Amino acid sequence: MSAPSIVILTGAGISAESGLGTFREEGGLWAQHRIEDVATPEGFARNPQLVVDFYNARRKQAAEAVPNAAHAALARLQAEHKGQVTLVTQNVDDLHEKGGSSDVIHMHGALNSALCASCEHRWPAPLAMTVGHGCPRCGAPSARPDIVWFGEIPYHMERIERALAEADIFVAIGTSGNVYPAAGFVQMARHVGARTVEMNLDPGENVSLFDDVRSGKASDTVPVWVNEVLAQ
Ligand code: APR
């Protein structure tokens, strides 16, 4: 029997045990900062320094973070389950890559990337970005964090939708199921008859749509699940 096609969606919860904050839990990032100030194009236009400082702080924290057993387990699954695993993350840190994963689909962008608001050129972001930094290609002083802000279109959606259309298994790890289109992926997977699995500390908003719900810390639940899949 050929290996099942697996689509995995991760959220902030998979990086929590590596010390990176989540958004909507008690004291989370959205309790400390207003989304409209630091995660919208309007906020960036209004006060680019506040936004650049917010992402510089997160980039520094992510640079110092170490991947945990959940990241390592997913990398092992990708390596042993050749070509049948599509790893999509809402996270902008690089812990999946540090944990050994490749071809990670960052649908909300990445802290390590800078974007030119004028010509859409992308280049590796410096640890500390500056407002008005010149684009290496067009020279315009229009560098911005390469992050998908609220009201903007997530990246790589065609590729993600193609993978979901072929999925045998869809897994959501460490995400509250609050933000679309990611929160709707489980519905798309169910539509094609995929088995759906949620691994979360607390049940997500869309938990009722999952066939298999595993509560607990990702560093415990994900390695157990990966071993089950690889034993099949
Ligand atoms: N192991 C597993 N799950 C965890 C852990 C852990 N150690 N710690 C927290 N969680 C779970 C929480 O139970 C919660 O369901 O992670 C989830 C975090 O939810 P959010 O903070 O809403 O993060 P996320 O779902 O990734 O947010 C989605 O919202 O603000 C936007 O762009 C931002 O990508 C982000 C998107």
Index of the ligand 1 atom closest to the CA of residue 28: 21
Of all residues in the chain, the percent with pLDDT exceeding 90 is: 97
Please state which CATH number belongs to domain 1-20+67-108+154-232: 3.40.50.1220
pLDDT, tens digit (0-9, with 9 covering 90-100), for 118-145:
999 999 999 999 999 999 999 999 999 9
Distance from residue 16's CA to the centre of ligand 1 (Å): 8
Active-site annotation holds for 108:
yes
What percentage of the chain carries pLDDT values higher than 70?
99
Mean pLDDT on 174-179: 97
State the chain's mean pLDDT as an integer.
Answer: 96
Q: Among the atoms of ligand 1, which is closest to the Cα of residue 204?
A: 15
7 membership: H or E segment, kind and range: strand 6-10
Residue nearest to atom 8 of ligand 1 (CA): 13
Q: Average pLDDT, stretch 188-209?
A: 98
> Which segments of the chain belong to CATH 3.30.1600.10?
21-64+112-147
Please list the residue range(s) of the chain that carry CATH number 3.40.50.1220. Answer: 1-20+67-108+154-232
What are the tokens at 64? Answer: 């110092």
Centre of ligand 1 from the C-alpha of residue 12, in Å: 4
**Encoded tokens for 112:** 């390590």
Distances (CA, A) of 41 to 30, 78, 169, 221: 17, 35, 35, 36
Q: Which residues contribute to the annotated binding site for substrate? A: 55, 58
Its pTM stands at 0.97
Task: Write the pLDDT tens digit of every residue in 75-119.
Answer: 999 999 866 999 999 999 999 999 999 999 999 999 999 999 999
**Residue pair 8/78 in contact by the 8 Å Cβ criterion:** no
| DSSP string across 207-222 | GGG-SEEEES-HHHHH
**pLDDT for residue 193:** 98
CA-closest candidate to residue 133, choices 124, 145, 143, 123:
143
pLDDT at 1: 61
Q: Which CATH number fits domain 21-64+112-147: 3.40.50.920, 3.30.1600.10, 3.30.70.1230, 2.130.10.10?
A: 3.30.1600.10
Reported as a pLDDT band with limits 50, 70 and 90, residue 2 is confident
Q: Would you list which residues are annotated within the binding site for NAD(+)?
A: 11-30, 90-93, 174-176, 200-202, 218
ipTM: 0.99
- The single residue of 108, 133, 156, 191 carrying the catalytic annotation is 108
Q: What is the pLDDT of residue 104?
A: 98
Ligand 1 pocket test: pick from 8, 15, 23, 221 the residue with the most ligand atoms within 8 Å of its Cβ: 23
